[in-house]
Structure formats: C-alpha cells, structure tokens
Structure 1
Amino acid sequence: MRLPSTVEPNAANGVPLSPLSLLDRSIIVYADKLAVAHGERRWTYREFGDLVRRMAGALEERGIGPGDTVSIVSANRPEMLAAHFAVPMLGAVLNTINTRLDVETIRYILDHCSAQAVIADKACVDQVAEACGDVPLYCLRPEDEEGPGEALDLLDGKGMVADWPFMERVKSEWQPIAINYTSGTTGSPKGVIYHHRGAYINALNNNLALGFDRTVTYLWTLPMFHCNGWCHTWAVTAAGGTHVCLEGVDPGEIVAALKDFGVTNMACAPVVLYMMLERLEKQADFRPERPVRVATGGAAPTSALIERMDALGFSLVHLYGLTESYGPATGMLPDPVIEQESAAVRAAFSARQGHGLPSGIRVEVKRSDGTPVTQDGIDMGEIMLAGPSIMGGYHADPVATSIAFEGGMFHTGDLAVVHPDGAMEIRDRAKDIIITGGENVSSLEVESVLHRHPRVLLAAVVAAPHPKWGETPWAFIQLNDAEGDAPSEEDIIAFCRDHLAGFKLPRRIIFRELPRTATGKVQKFALRQQAVEMQKEDA
C-alpha cells in the first residue's frame, strides 16, 4: 500500500508551536537555576514562572483575555521579560513600544492596535499617560507610591496567580503573539504581526546560530521592545540561560556587568559596541576570562571595529534582519577555517551578512527584473526573504502587505551583492544609495573608510541634493575622546582620498553628535533634512 500524500494532525501530534512551551520546560528542568538578575534582585526559573503567572493573573483580573492587545512601554526590567510570556498566556497579543517615542507616535500605536491596556515603567509613565487617552494605564511601581495610572506591583509576591497551563489558550500556532511597529521614518509606523509559530522557530533558530545553552549568561543591552529583543527573550529562556537585565545603555554599567556576572553573550547595535570599546580600551585592568559572543546588527560593523573588538576578547557575529523577519534572518556565523586566518581576513569575512539562518530562511538577491544576481561580489540586487519566521503581515494594511510579499517573497528594500561562496553582503538600503553624476555610491563603503580614522567614533553618510551632480555624499561625524587635536574637515577628506575614488569622497564634513534611535540606529532621515537646510542657508 502506498503512503498517503499527507498526514492529518491529531491531538497528540498537532500541538501548536509556541514560546510558552519553552518556558514551561525550563521551569521543570531548571527550576532552581538562576533565570533573571536585575540590580540586587535574583529569580530562579521557578520564581520567574511565578512572576509570569502573577502578571497574567493581574491582567485577567483587570479584564484582559483572548484576542486583546496589551501594550507595554518599559526598559529592560524583569516585568518586561515576564510580559513576553504572561500576555500570550492569556491568549492576548503583546505590543512592546519604544521608550523613546514621542507622545503622538505612542498615541497612534495604541489606537492602531486597539490596545485594551498599557503598562509603563516609572520612567515612561508621564509620557504614556499623556498619550493613552481612555486606554487603562498601569504603572510598574509599589502600591503605596503616587503617580499616573494604577500601580501594578508584581515583584512583591502578592496578587492573583493564573492557575491554568501556559499553553491552554494557544488554540493555533498561527495565532498572533505580538505586534511590533516599524520606525515610521518614511510614513506612519506599520504594525508587524508575529505569530506563535514564527516566534517559537526563531527562538530556537537563535539558539542554534548563537550557541545558547544552559551555560549562557545573556546581558540585555538590546532593548526588549526591539523585535521582542530579536526573540532572545524566548531563546535564552528556552536554553535555560540567565537573563541579566540592564535598564539603560551605559558603558560603565555594561563593563561592570561583564565582570560581575561572567557574561557570555550579548546583542547590540554597532554604536553600543563603539561606546563599550572606548571604555574597555581605557580600562586595561579588565578583560573577559573567555570570549564574549556579541551578536550585532542594525548597521554593518566595519572591519576596523571587528578587529578592535577581537583584540579585546569579544567574538562578533554579524546578523541581518528586520522587524518583519522577527529580527535576525541571516548571519555570518563563525567558521573554524577562517578563525585561523589573520585578523584582517577574519574581519572582512565577519562584516558580511552571510547566509540564511538554520530555521529554513531562504535568501535570494534579485535584480529589478526579478532575475538572481551573479555571485561575483559586484552585481547588486534587492534582498528577498521567505521562511517560517517572516511576519504574518501588516496589521490593517492589506495593500502594504500585498506589495511586501509580491512574487511570493518578502521584499526588504536592502541592496546587496552575493560573493562566490554564496555569502551576501549589503551595499546599502535602496533609499541610502547616493547617485552622483550617474554613479552609485554606497554610504556604507564611505562610512567604513571614515571609521578607520583614529578620531572617528561614529560616521553617517547621506545624499545631499546638488544642482549639477544630482546628489553628493555628505558625512556627519561624531569624534571620540582620544588625545590630540581634533581633525578638520580638510583632514578627514584628505584621509578619505587615500581610500576612495574621487566621486565617492564626501563633499562636506559636519561634526556633531549623531541622532540615534533607541536601538542604536543612526537617524539618517534627520541628517538628510539637516543637509538640505544647510544648503538653503548657504544659498
């Protein structure tokens, strides 16, 4: 008898995939192991499970149930981590909001996702109170403290405890687990829907790619509100690792945590690495006892950065992804052969965005006519993604969803080349390519050269309108605190001239602190606007 073409699931084998099952297992297997550290407080996995149940119970007591959306505006606190399990445990949807957003944007998000409740920490509550209108507001503070909203004190061990199984209200793995909003730099933020299936798969995907296991001690320098912390909220929990929560990105606090907890892993944008680098190079009395694996993304790390971090005992893993891919989708994972090469070779290797991660992410780089680029490291096209951890779609925006998925793959808007070994390397965002006199200039290439200058901490290159050439490159530079005279505009351009073709040289150098998002990305749209305004003043 021939086998059937398909097998129908049943109650035994059709259990939905969900990160909630990962916590359930870790509570059983790692009950007395340290799960969370925050300041002087510590929680074992058994105690963290109790915190999750108290949070779920408190929210149900306040009317939250299946299908509702709960927003939270908070730094990396234990309650923020617990919300990643407590809210979906109710069958509800978690909406984590950037703590740096303005009142109008917070108001827009709360309205767009029809939030039934919003939780805020004390640092954010005043701003959230101004934005939330009729949405019930709960503040993470002791009950005897005054302030906006109702006090929600979850850390004192009191309150109703949810007594149902973690997975009871997950009826389908395609059920939404979270909605995360894009930055909205080119229009209103889009609500990106995550489902339980994608979150589960990407959590285990991270564990495979980054080597998370029960020995991992993970330092939370990446905001949990950013793609649910790249799904590391669920991944580290699945591994039975320890979460070390930091509420801010302070180089001194980061170095102290590295030392005090024996941190093995962290994730952050390159801008945070630059800050930490400066601190470590001045603090020669501390180096990690074993290499700290740092996952970085958001902007391509330069070869110079990778070389310097490597010398300080940090192993960089370069990841690439978007909100729409639950965070990391591709990466340049460590290669034992490359590890034997010189620092320069290893740095150039690691600076690429690599291959699809093990979860089955398919990566294609295609020209505008839909044909794949030649794998020669020169031919450029748009990155397309498909796989189990791609968003469910944009909430209440079927047109944008249809455009994003045209042709059966997700269109990222990022431009890349593919090398002969199949590894992808981003050349730029489509919107960040500078077209000067008909020639394409990669802002990333110019930035990489600028970052080699010993006095440059951060650099961002944008297109400025030009009456003759159409556009020309302008560079905005934030200097470091190294000793010696600060370089002039002419000094920087002369430095670039040794490494770049003439048409790629920055035409202006502006020294200033660079505006950044809460996740460390430079806000290039603000710099483009400044360039236009400066041109008007010079006219």
Structure 2
Amino acid sequence: MEKPLLTVDFLDRARKYYEDEVATVATTGEEYTYSELGDRVDRLSAALEQRGIEKGDRVAVLDPNTHYHLETAYASMQLGAVHTPLNYRLTSEDYEYILSDAEVDAVYADYDYAEKIEAIRDEVPTEIFITNDEEAVDGDWESFETIVRETEPEYSRPEMSEDEVITINYTSGTTGDPKGVMRTHRTETLHAYLIAIHHELTSDDVYLWTLPMFHVNGWGHIYAVTGMGAKHVCTRGVDAEWIVDTIQEQNVSFLCAAPTVLNQLIEHYQDNNEPEMQGSNEVRVTTAGSAPPEATIRKVEQDFGWDLKHLYGATETGPLITLSDPKRIGSEEEKLSLKKRQGMGVLGTDVRVVDEDGNDVPWDDATIGEVVVRGNQVMDGYWNKPEATEKAFNDRVEGYYHMGDLATVDENGMIAIKDRKKDIIISGGENISSIELEDTLFEHEAVADVAVIPSPSEEWGETPKAFVVPQSGDPDDPNVEKQDLIDFTKDRLASFKAVSRVEFVEELPTTATGKIQKYELREQEWDEEDAMVGQG
C-alpha cells in the first residue's frame, strides 16, 4: 500500500510514542516534553490560522537555534504553510529581498534579530509579525508566549500531498540574488530517513544544536531527531566552553560542527587542561564545509574520544548526498585521510563525477570531473526561477542536479573535491560570493581593479582575500589602508561575508581577452596547502 510522506508525521510520531519524554531543552534550561511541545505547536497553528494563514502561505523564521524555531516550523507545516527559515547573519536588505521574493505572509523573529525585520517591514508584503520578547523589540509585534497561552489548541489540518512544497530554503546568493530552494514533503521526509540511518539516530540520542537550524532545515535534523523521539538541546550561538559544559551536563551524544567549530573546541581543550569532552554518552560528530585536516580529525577522535563523519552536499540536495565513513574501506593507517574525502553516495542516491561530455571519469583519483547527483532528497526546483532550475538539472547530464564542484574518484568510489566551477568561498560553513565582494570593493574610490579568492584559514577553513590594484597604480602607495577596505565591506555586507585580507598588486593576471585568471591567484595562495580550496 502507499502512504503519503509528510513532514508533520515526525512530530505526530514523537507525540504518540514519547509524549512524556523530554523533547527540547530551552536555552534557559527549561524542558518541554513531546506532549508539551505538541501542545504549544497546536496552539500556534490555531493562532496562525485565526490570523489568516492557510495552506500554501509562507511563514518565515528568523531565529538562532531555540525551541521557538522548532515550534514555528511545525506549527506552519501543520497548516500546510511553507516553512521559510532565514539566515540570521544576513542584513535587512537581504531580508527585504527574500521576504518579497517569497511573498512571505508571516514572520517570527527572535528579539535579537527582529530589528532587522522592523527596519524593512513597510517594504515587504508580510503582515503578521511575532517575536519571543515584544518588550525588547521596537514596533508593533505580537508576543509568542501570549499567543500560545491565550489560544486554544484547535485548528484544521488540511489534506496534504507529499509532492507539495513545504519549505523554501534560500541559498547564500553566491551567483547573484539568493535563490529559493523548494523542497517537498517527500524530499524532506526521505532525506530525514537518510539522516536517521547514516547518522545512526535512536530515541535515546541527545542532539546538541551547534548547526544552524536555518541551514537546509538543520540538515534535516528538525525532522529526524524529532521523529526518532530524541532530545533537542537548543542554543543561542556557538561558544566552545558552553558546548563542552553542555555536552557533560546534558550527556550529549550527537552534534554537527563545521571545521571552524572543531578548531574552537580543540583550542579550548588545549587551553583548559584537557577537560573531559563527554558525559555518560559516547559522542558522535558530523562535519561539512571545508574538509578538516588530518590533524583535526586525529585530535577529535583520539583526544576527545569522539567518532567523526564527514558529509557533503548542498542546500539543493538536502544536503546529504555523500558520507565519508570508511569502516570497511582502507587500512587503519588510511582511515584519517579517507575521512577527509567527501565519500560515497548514501542510500538511494546516484552520485557521479562526469567530464564535459557527461561521461563518468575513471576511478583513478586523478581525472577531474563535475559532481552530479540524482536522488529522492534533491530539491523540487528554484522558487520562481524555471530557467535556473532547467540549467541546474541539465547542464552536462540530463536529469541530474549539477553541484558545480569538481572532483576525482578513487578506487573505492569515494569522491574528493578538488576545485569549483563557481568562484564560491566557503568560510566557516557559509557560502560567500566573490563577485558580490568584488562589486562592493569596486565602489571604493581607491580601487581600480580587484579579484577576490579564498585564502587558507586555520580558523575558518578559508576566508575571503582581495587582490587590489589601487587607483594610484602603486601597490606601495595605494592611498588607502588595508583595514579601510576591510571595514568598507563590513559596512555594506553581512559581517561573515566581509573581506578579511587585502593584498595590493600592480596588476591582476588576465587572459588575452582581459578575463581575470583567478586560478593563478588561487595556486599562489594555496601553494603550501594540501588542497587548493576548501571542500564545499
């Protein structure tokens, strides 16, 4: 028989079988059982319904990793409304574009970020504004807690189909304006199943939210952890000391951490007399973004006593499409180097590396091709962008999503990213557009020409560096300080996108037709590194 795959099933299951077990631990330490969590979600669903939200409407969430994000997401989806998480590191201008592009009907914003929405609320179609602390926010905002307290938990759940869009996740705008990635009940559900299987989730897991929930719905963990009846430990940001203390106090068994977070934890461990890095549970950790060096993997596994896996994917793919977990591959001496690789395709996923003609490259770990993928967890398409959708699925190979990453395949079928087709910088797990940075720097009167590339960073994996030809023509006397240009980008873009390094040069390497040859700059910058770029 056939049963529709719906995202609301995850909370329904947890409420049915784990109603008295702790579902969420709030950042204040307050705990909610799955019964209590479900009641709050029902009340918010009813309140949104009373305010006119219905199936197909978009409800945005701007929140760090608190229980409010989980509650708003499920409350929206129970109405068939489209969950639209927002990156809390963006600017008001970014939010104006996204809220307008998605035609968002309601927004919940944490009190720390609501001012960014307040600044543009007259410019967007959104009419419902909810926050968790209305006293701390300027403007006319409704109180989340008042709504939940004063609304009865009775709402009408509509009929839903697994092929209907239930969430839109916006990319970081690495090639122009951000694109809304449409994901259906089906893609989200099957991806959550993959997460549960490959990360070996069980009902007694304690999951620490160091990974932003806005990132592809927390890599599917808002569904998988909930559906398994496990415990969510919420956060308001990443602090190494707090993470270590919480792992011990809450007996955390699983977390996700970009290499930059792993580095912060290693530094804390070394500077604080090597504290105990786990409670009563053994700890599993998954990393993505730039591939961690072997030294990092060794410290995490041998010093911390954690089990580390390395995943690869993109917003468009769920993200999980490959996983490096070489338990039955390679010798013991090779395990650490194999864990750096992006790995092999996960269940039900066809991952290929193809040449320009769409043919698979040999498994020689030398021939480079583009990664393409086909799987049930891959997006439905881009919101209101049919041409971009068509190109993404039919560039080299028809019917496959094209990752834009160039890779090799070893004798075991494990891929390793070598470079990118696009000039994307991945810093601390965030995608940054070199084009956006170049356009910004071109606005400075002292800049005649500029190229931005990724530069190696021990803390972030890679960081934006600008090679600047000054208007003066003299790199030794550019008439501007490096810090001035760094501050110029910080003032105009989200802080994580800003240039962190500047080098003045007399000229940039170009082709005969004047096109900047960034690969020469990258080779120069990464000359002493194991890999030329971070592993996106």
What aligned pairs does 1:458-497 form with structure 2 within 5 A after superposition?
458-460=460-462
Q: 2:9 aligns with which of 17, 21, 25?
A: 21
CA contact (8 A) 2:110 2:131 kept: yes
**Residue equivalent to 1:192:** 181
Q: Distance in 2 between matches of 1:115 and 1:52?
A: 20
CA contact (8 A) 2:109 2:132 kept: no
Q: 1:427 aligns with which of 403, 418, 422?
A: 418
Q: Do the aligned partners of residues 92 and 156 (structure 1) sit closer, same or farther apart at CA in structure 2, a change above 3 Å counting?
A: closer
- The alignment's TM-score, normalised by the length of structure 1, stands at 0.78
**Residue equivalent to 1:478:** none
**Residue equivalent to 1:121:** 110
Displacement of 1:337: 6.2
Q: Do the aligned partners of residues 433 and 158 (structure 1) sit closer, same or farther apart at CA in structure 2, a change above 3 Å counting?
A: closer
**Residue 246 (structure 1) aligned with residue 235 (structure 2):** yes
Q: Do the aligned partners of residues 145 and 428 (structure 1) sit closer, same or farther apart at CA in structure 2, a change above 3 Å counting?
A: closer
Q: How many correspondences in the alignment? A: 453
Amino acid across the alignment from 1:202? H
Deviation by residue 1:400-439 (Cα, 9 ceiling, x = unmatched):
00000101100110111000011111112223599xxxxx
Displacement of 1:272: 1.1
CA contact (8 A) 1:269 1:521 kept: no
What aligned pairs does 1:210-359 form with structure 2 within 5 A after superposition?
210-283=199-272, 284-289=274-279, 290-311=281-302, 312-335=304-327, 341-342=332-333, 345-358=334-347
CA contact (8 A) 2:169 2:216 kept: yes
**Residue 136 (structure 1) aligned with residue 127 (structure 2):** yes
What aligned pairs does 1:149-164 form with structure 2 within 5 A after superposition?
149-154=140-145, 158-164=149-155
CA contact (8 A) 2:464 2:499 kept: no
- Structure 1 stretch 291-300 or stretch 317-326: which is displaced more? 291-300
Displacement of 1:253: 1.3
- Unmatched 5+ stretches in structure 1: 1-12, 435-442, 468-511
CA contact (8 A) 1:298 1:521 kept: no
Amino acid across the alignment from 1:310? E
CA contact (8 A) 1:56 1:161 kept: no
Displacement of 1:294: 0.8
Q: Do the aligned partners of residues 162 and 306 (structure 1) sit closer, same or farther apart at CA in structure 2, a change above 3 Å counting?
A: same
Displacement of 1:59: 1.1
Q: Distance in 1 between matches of 2:360 and 2:297?
A: 30
**Residue 401 (structure 1) aligned with residue 392 (structure 2):** no
CA contact (8 A) 1:193 1:391 kept: yes
Deviation by residue 1:490-533 (Cα, 9 ceiling, x = unmatched):
xxxxxxxxxxxxxxxxxxxxxx99x99xxx9975x846xx65x7
Deviation by residue 1:105-133 (Cα, 9 ceiling, x = unmatched):
10000000000111111001111111222
- The alignment's TM-score, normalised by the length of structure 2, stands at 0.78
Q: 1:93 aligns with which of 79, 82, 87?
A: 82
**Residue equivalent to 1:489:** none
Q: Distance in 2 between matches of 1:271 and 1:521?
A: 16
**Residue 534 (structure 1) aligned with residue 504 (structure 2):** yes
Q: Do the aligned partners of residues 458 and 123 (structure 1) sit closer, same or farther apart at CA in structure 2, a change above 3 Å counting?
A: closer
Displacement of 1:144: 6.4
Deviation by residue 1:156-200 (Cα, 9 ceiling, x = unmatched):
8513244357xx424210111100111002200001101000111
CA contact (8 A) 2:466 2:499 kept: no
Q: Distance in 2 between matches of 1:131 and 1:416?
A: 42
What aligned pairs does 1:339-418 form with structure 2 within 5 A after superposition?
341-342=332-333, 345-358=334-347, 360-406=348-394, 407-418=398-409
Q: Distance in 1 between matches of 2:179 and 2:300?
A: 35
CA contact (8 A) 1:120 1:137 kept: no
Deviation by residue 1:312-357 (Cα, 9 ceiling, x = unmatched):
212111000100011222111251566x724xx2210111111111
CA contact (8 A) 1:103 1:128 kept: yes
Displacement of 1:60: 1.1
Q: Distance in 1 between matches of 2:89 and 2:499?
A: 16
Deviation by residue 1:213-250 (Cα, 9 ceiling, x = unmatched):
11110000111011110010001001110000011111
Displacement of 1:155: 7.8
**Residue equivalent to 1:439:** none
Q: Distance in 1 between matches of 2:161 and 2:64?
A: 30
Detail structure 1 runs of 4+ shifted over 4 Å in the superposition. Answer: 142-146, 461-467, 520-523, 536-539
Q: Sequence identity, in percent?
A: 34
Q: Distance in 1 between matches of 2:322 and 2:278?
A: 27
Q: Distance in 1 between matches of 2:59 and 2:188?
A: 17
Q: Distance in 1 between matches of 2:50 and 2:290?
A: 43
- Structure 1 stretch 279-288 or stretch 178-187: which is displaced more? 279-288
CA contact (8 A) 2:329 2:412 kept: no
Q: Distance in 2 between matches of 1:372 and 1:534?
A: 42
**Residue equivalent to 2:32:** 43
Displacement of 1:537: 10
Aligned-residue RMSD, C-alpha? 3.0
What aligned pairs does 1:435-474 form with structure 2 within 5 A after superposition?
447=456, 456-460=458-462
**Residue equivalent to 1:504:** none
Secondary structure at 1:158's aligned position in 2?
helix
What aligned pairs does 1:57-76 form with structure 2 within 5 A after superposition?
57-76=46-65
Displacement of 1:291: 3.4
CA contact (8 A) 2:244 2:277 kept: no
Displacement of 1:18: 1.1
Secondary structure at 1:154's aligned position in 2?
helix
CA contact (8 A) 2:118 2:138 kept: no
Amino acid across the alignment from 1:324? E
Secondary structure at 1:32's aligned position in 2?
coil
CA contact (8 A) 2:467 2:504 kept: no
Amino acid across the alignment from 1:238? G
Amino acid across the alignment from 2:505? Q
